[in-house]
Structure 1
Amino acid sequence: MKGTRPTSIEFQIATWFGSGLIIPAPGTWGTVGGFVFGCLLMAATTPVITFLMAIALTLVGYFAIRKIESRFQEHDSSFIVIDEVIAILFVLSLLPTFTPLFSVLGFILFRIFDAVKPWPINWLDKQIGGATGVIVDDLMAGLYTLLILWGIYGYGLI
């Protein structure tokens, strides 16, 4: 991480206040940070506020990722985890019911889809460059997560 200031706001946002620097599995640690933040936000406010926060972080995160990628000359560095934070906030805000069970299932399913990258997540990950590409594959993993959770809920499986 030569040439950057770890205290810069874009670095703090991109690494979600350093959670992306935890090894091993920085993506999981970033998701944990986003999950805790999202659960606290959901408990204190509403799903709409959490959804709006996800949108705001998408915009702020996009510019933070652009600056960090430009500085490091590397696409989707493992320490960039704001994309996981954004996606888990969308997942939490769009859950069929905000319960501990559905929240934890959302976390687990999201991490599986983000790590395994089934089609078209893997395609999006390879085809779309820059900050957009960093964010979009995680949003698709979040969408897959929500489809499964809404299916489980709709069919009364849990």
Structure 2
Amino acid sequence: MSFPQPARVVLTHPAGWIASGFGIGLSPVAPGTMGSLAALLPWWFYLQHASLAVQLAVIGAAFVVGVVTANWVIEKTGVQDPSVVVWDEFIGQWIALLLAPAGWLWMVLGFGLFRLFDIWKPWPVRWADRKLHGGIGAMLDDVLAGVYACATLHVIVALLDANGILKPI
């Protein structure tokens, strides 16, 4: 099988594998969405059950790893924020789900909200996407989209809870 550039570069180094979400960024269809979907697996099986301190530690460490590995791919390919880099989607998705109620419904809603803000790119998400370069630029727009999604998810939870609609799922 023959892969186009930057896929060949990604396959040659562990940094490329990590930045691509262990190869998910090589998807020919919607690699960002595929990366966000893949991020739900570790969330479902581990992170949603972890304390806030553990969640923040994992997200923080993964962010640093993402900056370094995305920067490696950017330097090797010469492409700013290449679509093959989806580790940023993992981080943004995990931020979107911080302190979300347990259950598949909230995970699906968090996924949808993160994709909405990642695609729409309201300020300052769009600013970070356009003005910041290198690994930090590749990562930060998704972090900010995750913050928007997290805040929106918690407003929805609070509104449902305040109106007596929220029930455990």
CA spacing shift, 1:44–1:152, aligned 2, 3 Å:
closer
- Which is higher, the Rg of structure 1 or of structure 2? 2
Report the aligned-residue RMSD.
1.8
Matches within 5 A, 1:65-104: 65-95=70-100, 97-104=101-108
Query: Offset at 1:136?
Result: 0.9
> Which string of whole-angstrom CA distances, capped at 9 and with x for unpartnered residues, describes residues 86-138 of structure 1?
1112222332x122111110001101111121222112211111111111111
Gaps of 5+ in 2: none
Structure 1 equivalent of residue 27 of structure 2: 22
CA spacing shift, 1:125–1:68, aligned 2, 3 Å:
same
Query: Offset at 1:153?
Result: 1.2
**Which residue of the other structure, out of 136, 139, 156, is the alignment partner of 1:135?**
139
TM-score normalised per structure 2: 0.85
TM-score normalised per structure 1: 0.90
Structure 2 equivalent of residue 50 of structure 1: 55
Question: Does 1:116 pair with 2:98?
Answer: no
Distance 1:152 1:5 in 2: 39
> Which string of whole-angstrom CA distances, capped at 9 and with x for unpartnered residues, describes residues 68-91 of structure 1?
110001100001000000111222
Gaps of 5+ in 1: none
Structure 2 equivalent of residue 126 of structure 1: 130
CA spacing shift, 1:151–1:5, aligned 2, 3 Å:
closer
Contact 2:26 2:84 in 1 (8 A): yes
- Of 104-113 and 43-52, deviating more is 43-52
Structure 2 equivalent of residue 9 of structure 1: 14
Distance 1:5 1:65 in 2: 10
Distance 1:15 1:123 in 2: 23
Query: Offset at 1:146?
Result: 1.1
The percentage of aligned residue pairs carrying the same residue is: 31
Distance 2:43 2:55 in 1: 7
**Paired residues, number:** 157
Query: Offset at 1:43?
Result: 5.2
